[in-house]
Amino acid sequence: MQAPDVVVVGSATRDLNDDESEPRDWLLGGGVTFGALALARLGLRTGVVLGLDAEAATAPELELIRDAGAEIVQVPLERGPIFTNIEQLSGRVQILGDRSDPVPVRALPDAWREARSWVFAPIAGEIGDEWAAVPPEHACVAFAWQGILRELVPGEQVRPTRPGPSPFLARADIVSVSRHDIPGDLPLGDIGTWLAPSCDLLLTAGLLGGMLLRYRDGEIHGARAYPSVPSNEEVDAAGAGDTMLAGLVAARIAAGEDASARGQDLRMGATASSLLVEGPGMNSVPTFAQMMARLSGRL
């Protein structure tokens, strides 16, 4: 078994819905599924270590990921994360249906340990700290921080927890988080003390775009704001941040520091996100052709 270009790790969610036009009352979701599908559709050899409860394992969305060329290692879970998402003018409210069992490191194929890029995409704290030590020293590691910034009590609204140090922050080359998950009274300089010596912090802000902060040895050494790419319509914003991160990672894998220096990575990520929100669920994760059409103004 050959190491993929990128390994994505996390648990799939079942997001409950009451849409009578849907064949079932939930959609498969989670950063790992959106991210893996986006990376695969952008042409990268993608390996996915995917936690699934028994019902989630039956989801036809898994075939979307496989059809895009990704290889999935399914990790059976007795309990997988379940959410109800309620969209309000003030933002999304999530109600937790169930927590997730952990995804163990032993599920990772040995040959995948040498992958040159990794995306850790927890949704409910299901990836233990031991995962942070798995990627080789030379690998580029991206971490979706908000997945461990949630207070999770079944039956209650999901609430943010106070950010703090984490082995993932100390290892990651790229950290992605919504600006809504960072308390307004938390100095950005304090975050630098938790990060690796060389780390980029991506702060996403939906329709407002976002900002990439470059931290070097704990201090901010540069910042680049980016605008959002206009969507034709917004149907479902679930997975937008995860797809943004996947587009950025794909651009960096393809073009390295050149992509970052010219801002192509941010443009690719924002473009992927703009297409994602135009449809429900994972079916709207864009292909490379769709992204090129959007960038050229043809879509």
Q: How far apart are CA 109 and CA 47, in angstroms?
A: 10
| Angle between helical axes of 31-41 and 264-276 (0-180°, round to 10) | 110
Note the pLDDT tens digit of each residue in 121-145.
Answer: 999 989 999 999 999 999 999 999 9
* Helix and strand totals (H; E) in the chain: 8, 15
Using a pLDDT cut of 90, give the percent of the chain over it: 81
CA distances from 76 to 12, 56, 123 (A): 11, 10, 16
Closest CA to 244 of 210, 219, 216: 210
Three-state SS for 206?
helix
Note the pLDDT tens digit of each residue in 53-102.
Answer: 999 999 999 999 999 999 999 999 999 999 998 776 666 788 999 999 99
Q: Where does 62-173 show beta strands of DSSP type E?
A: 71-77, 82-88, 91-98, 117-120, 140-144, 150-151, 159-160
What pLDDT, on the 0 to 100 scale, is given for residue 235? 87
Laid out side by side, the sheet with 46-53 consists of 71-77, 46-53, 6-11, 117-120, 140-144, 174-178, 198-204, 210-216, 219-226
Closest CA to 41 of 198, 246, 214, 210: 246
299: buried, middle or exposed (CB in 10 Å: 19+, 13-18, 0-12)? middle
What pLDDT, on the 0 to 100 scale, is given for residue 211? 95
297: left (phi over 0), alpha (psi -120 to 50) or beta: left
**Residue 198: pLDDT band with limits 50, 70, 90:** very high
Buried b (16+ CB within 10 A) or exposed e, 104-136: eeeebeeebeebebbbbbbbbbbbeeebbebbe
pTM for the predicted model, two decimal places? 0.94
Q: Which residue has the higher pLDDT, 77 or 263?
A: 77
Residue 20 has pLDDT above 80, yes or no: no
CA 147: distance to chain centroid?
A: 9
Q: Which residues contact 64 (CB under 8 A, 6 or more apart)?
A: 37, 282, 283, 285
CA 196: distance to chain centroid?
A: 19
Q: How far apart are CA 23 and CA 147, in angstroms?
A: 28
